[in-house]
Structure 1
Amino acid sequence: MMKNFLPTAAVLAAGSLLWGGLSSEPASAKNRKIAPVITENVDFVAQQVQLMVDTMDTFKNIPSPRTLNEKGQLAFTTLDDWTSGFFPGTLWYLYELTGDSKWLKPAVHYTEGMERIKYYRGNHDIGFMIFCSFGNGLRLTEKEPYKEVIVTAARTLSERYRPGAGVIQSWPQWRGWDCPVIIDNMMNLELLFEATRMSGDSSFWKIATSHADQTMKHHYRPDMSCYHVVDYDSKTGEVRSRVTAQGYADSSAWARGQAWGLYGYTLCYRYTHDPKYLKQAEDIAKFIFTNKNLPEDLIPYWDYDVPNIEREPRDASAAAVTASALYELSTYVGRKQGKMYKKLADRIVETLGSPAYRAELGENGYFVLMHSTGNKPGPSEVDVPLVYADYYFLEALKRKRDLENK
């Protein structure tokens, strides 16, 4: 029987050190030798995002950029949207990577403008929303009030936990579902793990590991691809159905879903040191990088199993999430395997930073990356820039820098 891994002081400390990457020091804090691929991309992102900030300053409210509208213009969404934390998070990463204090003011402004989200009960994505913003802000400034926001948000998220099924319910009861859980929800566990570290309340930790265990058991197929949605009976925990809402078919492997799983189980290992999570992450990585339909440039099509795949759009967001996860995963395995994971991540980052995927300055609605796919079956946000693609690209650059200068 697998040991029940509960939080210990040593494990919590290790999780804290790796939270957000490998270092929490702004770039100016050390005399580093930084690879040209990092400096060139960070310089570009800083220029591009500054143009976006300048545009957003004309709005009275706190706007949340998400993608482009049908006219190719910068499109905003509400703070209640699941993507609202990515723009503040991008600003925090720019502050960290550039060492330029000019990014501190907008990062604080757009982060603190989201404080009410700590009580948001509309979905499970409060983890994305709060941790990318307040989480990075706390890591880089140690603003004590940010801890309260994070712990309160974790309590709010915990209300979605269904003890009978052992999972955090993602979506409401619609389409005939009782307790639908999406693979994306693995990303919100970081909020819970950190809330235990900050508060000492182990209930958050137990919810996170229960959800990870049930997802491992019920979302994954024998080939280590995953479904998008598993619907549970909220009282008995019985699986009622398995579907892939944003993928090509229920039996197919939706690309971003595979990336969410890789990242999610990697962070679970970071906090618990439970080897089953490390194995899960490595098995997912093996599925992705041995897949016959993964293109040579390592930027996946939106689904690995869609027919006539060469005609289908790519998903740069899935690639960015994967690269960031691989940099972290490379630190948990043996030297040979670690070098392989880092090399794969490096190739993805270099490709995303090339003209094939990175926009020209002042174009693309001031977003950095092109060619992401949100929800092809929707259809919604197909072959467009997406704010979370930029966030994870910048996070990958930060993790690459820290790995090469530790």
Structure 2
Amino acid sequence: MNIRITIGILLLTACHTAPTFTPQKALDYCTRQAAATAAQLPGYDSLPRSIATNGTRWKLVDYKDWTSGFWPGVLWYVYEYTKDTAWKNKADTYSRTLTPLAYNKAYDHDIGFQLYCSMGNGYRLTHDTSYRRILLAAADTLATLFNPKAGTILSWPRNVQQLGGHNTIIDNMINLELLFWAGKNGSPHCYDIAVQHATTTMHNHFRPDHTCYHVVVYDTLTGQVLRRQTHQGYADNSVWARGQSWAIYGYTLCYRETHQPQFLTFAQQVADAYLQRLGEELIPYWDFDDAAIPQAPRDASAAAVTASALLELSTQVTDKVKSKHYYDKAVAMLAELSTPRWQSSGYNTALLQHSTGHKPNGSEIDAAIIYADYYYIEGLLRLQKLQKGNPIF
């Protein structure tokens, strides 16, 4: 055998067998990268969203952008890991720039992403009552988008006329966490809305194989389903990877908050559909059905969301074999994301590279994106807690 091939095989084998991944090592890396990002930012009203391929500087947005809550959320997770009050102070200041979202008319459906990822983590870690007041107001604002005829929360309220009905996207499953929290903290109607949204989505948003559509459009007056389509996936009948990830995460949190067995069963079904399509891979292509595969871009953000969700799901299922399957897959995904192929160190100050935002729109393709970072560090913290024998929450 050629000596260079032999050496290559040995190196490859070493890479696969060496126990180099630990959540602590990866969290230390996240802390260093977050510090570098913080040093770049011009002020607390400038929030990082993405870094283009081969870029070094963050695209900055204001509090109205749907991604605005992820950077404060990353800061809260760094604080949770380090216990350093300097991070707490940064997280608090960035979080409070989002306050107007709670009291203004709902401009978008992503108030849960914006405020629960930021102030929700802040309240969990500090019990600051001012966060509680803002979160309750935010939940009431989000609840105004609920259409009882359709049984779901309206997505993209500013585009209702353009989209021709009451449209709901699978991403909205994550925004339910804010409503569930509010339901247990003084606003029971929010809990009921969250359960109805999850139940309606479960019935209308999925194919028989438990893969999901991106968008379902309902008749605003009757609630009847008008059509099922995509905006961010490859085709209306394709499986957009991050959409399936949102579903796994969303129904896992629904079971956590309600303990309704239907949600636990469904969370496993949508997770199994994702893992079956993923096969032996760890990081999915941006859409499982893109005709350009294997030249199609990957999506690290979908992997990060899925890994974090699977860790929680592994604690919910009673079947030990299936629990271990979900746990092992999540660890393997996080370990892969923690390799030089996916980490951004040496390229820019993000945590991860190679995510895909909105490929059909030509936006944020093969980029570093802040929500990938958020769910990556969340997954690492969850893994560290489980390895120490502690609960995730």
TM-score scaled by length of structure 1: 0.88
Match of residue 268 from structure 2 = 282
Q: 1:329 aligns with which of 282, 307, 313?
A: 313
Match of residue 384 from structure 2 = 401
The structural deviation recorded for 1:398 is 0.8
Given residue 259 of structure 2, which amino acid in structure 1 is its aligned partner? H
The structural deviation recorded for 1:69 is 4.8
Match of residue 154 from structure 1 = 139
Residue 226 of structure 1 pairs with residue 215 of structure 2: no
Given residue 223 of structure 1, which amino acid in structure 2 is its aligned partner? D
Q: Give me the whole-angstrom Cα distance separating, in 1, the residues matched to 2:48 and 2:306.
A: 22
- Match of 1:384, SS state, is strand
Residue 267 of structure 1 pairs with residue 257 of structure 2: no
Q: 1:194 aligns with which of 172, 177, 181?
A: 181
Residue 341 of structure 1 pairs with residue 359 of structure 2: no
User: In the superposition, relative to structure 1, how do residues 62 and 273 fare at CA in structure 2: closer, same or farther (>3 Å)?
Assistant: same
Q: Give me the whole-angstrom Cα distance separating, in 2, the residues matched to 1:175 and 1:112.
A: 33
Contact conserved, 1:297 with 1:348, CA < 8 A, in 2?
Answer: no
Given residue 352 of structure 2, which amino acid in structure 1 is its aligned partner? L
Given residue 393 of structure 1, which amino acid in structure 2 is its aligned partner? Y
Number of residue-to-residue matches in the alignment: 365
Match of residue 7 from structure 2 = none
Residue 118 of structure 1 pairs with residue 102 of structure 2: yes
Contact conserved, 1:297 with 1:351, CA < 8 A, in 2?
Answer: no
TM-score scaled by length of structure 2: 0.90
Q: 1:79 aligns with which of 59, 63, 79?
A: 63
Q: Give me the whole-angstrom Cα distance separating, in 2, the residues matched to 1:124 and 1:205.
A: 16
The structural deviation recorded for 1:114 is 1.5
Contact conserved, 1:262 with 1:284, CA < 8 A, in 2?
Answer: yes
The structural deviation recorded for 1:77 is 1.1
- Match of 2:160, SS state, is coil
Q: 1:180 aligns with which of 167, 173, 178?
A: 167
Match of residue 300 from structure 2 = 316
Q: 1:170 aligns with which of 155, 162, 165?
A: 155
Match of residue 363 from structure 2 = 380
Given residue 75 of structure 1, which amino acid in structure 2 is its aligned partner? K
Contact conserved, 2:102 with 2:137, CA < 8 A, in 1?
Answer: yes
Gaps of 5+ in 2: 1-19
User: In the superposition, relative to structure 1, how do residues 36 and 381 fare at CA in structure 2: closer, same or farther (>3 Å)?
Assistant: closer
- Match of 2:262, SS state, is helix
Measured on the aligned residues, the alpha-carbon RMSD in Å equals 1.4
User: In the superposition, relative to structure 1, how do residues 70 and 399 fare at CA in structure 2: closer, same or farther (>3 Å)?
Assistant: closer
Q: 2:286 aligns with which of 292, 299, 302?
A: 302
- Match of 1:264, SS state, is helix
Match of residue 127 from structure 1 = 112
CA-to-aligned-CA distance 1:106-154 (integer Å, 9 cap, x gap): 0111011211121241110001000001000000011011100110000
CA-to-aligned-CA distance 1:242-287 (integer Å, 9 cap, x gap): 0011101000000000000000000000010001101111001111
- Match of 2:227, SS state, is strand
Runs of 4+ off more than 6 Å: none
Gaps of 5+ in 1: 1-34
CA-to-aligned-CA distance 1:206-247 (integer Å, 9 cap, x gap): 100110011001100001100000000122110011001110
Q: 1:52 aligns with which of 16, 29, 37?
A: 37
